[in-house]
Structure 1
Amino acid sequence: MRQFTTGDLNKQVGDVTDAASREPVVLTRHNKPRFVLMSYDHYERMRTGADPRRVYSVPEMPKEHEELFGEAIERLARGEGYDDEP
């Protein structure tokens, strides 16, 4: 997650809001995190629970995810998937 100071927000509002449109950003004041700025769509997904993404630890990963993860690791080990993806 990118970080900006509250001073950056005042001076570079375009850069900060562009970054926040892609992912939440942290706004700091006196070197301490104070605020998070994010797009309204991201906020709504988070607020309503409509964001389907979930983080799993390895032991609790569903079998179908484990298989997809294993296949992706094998592709990368063979040198595939680095430059061939859009």
Structure 2
Amino acid sequence: MRAFSSTELANKTGDVLAAAAQEPVAIQRHGKSRFVVLTTEEFERIQQKKDTRKAVHVTDLSDADAGDLLSALEDSIEND
């Protein structure tokens, strides 16, 4: 994702919008991304996408799910 400072946004609005027409761009303040500028079409696509994730407390996991989670964590530790 391309990034622009908030000063660049103020001084080069056209450049920022041209970049945002191609892909989402980050707007940074003090070197940290604070906002994202994107097209309406991209925003609507993101809003319509169904998020199938859910939060579950570890005590509510089945034995099989807990085993899958541990395996995935171990694999991540070994391969990252």
Please, what TM-score do these two structures have when normalized by structure 1? Answer: 0.56
1:19 alignment partner in structure 2: 19
Choose between structure 1 and 2: higher helix proportion: 2
Pairing 1:30-41 to 2, within 5 Å after superposition? 30-41=30-41
List gaps (5 residues or longer) in structure 2.
Answer: 51-80
Residue 36 of structure 2 aligns to a residue whose secondary structure is: strand
> Within 1, Cα distance between the matches of 2:3 and 2:12?
13
Deviation at 1:49, TM superposition (A): 1.4
Deviation at 1:30, TM superposition (A): 0.5
How large is the Cα RMSD of the aligned pairs?
1.2
Identify the structure with bigger relative contact order (alpha carbons < 8 Å, sequence gap 6+): 2
1:56 alignment partner in structure 2: none
Large movers: runs of 4+ above 3 Å: none
Amino-acid identity (%): 40
List gaps (5 residues or longer) in structure 1.
Answer: 51-86
Please, what TM-score do these two structures have when normalized by structure 2? Answer: 0.60
Deviation at 1:22, TM superposition (A): 0.8
> In the comparison of the two structures, how many residue pairs are matched?
50
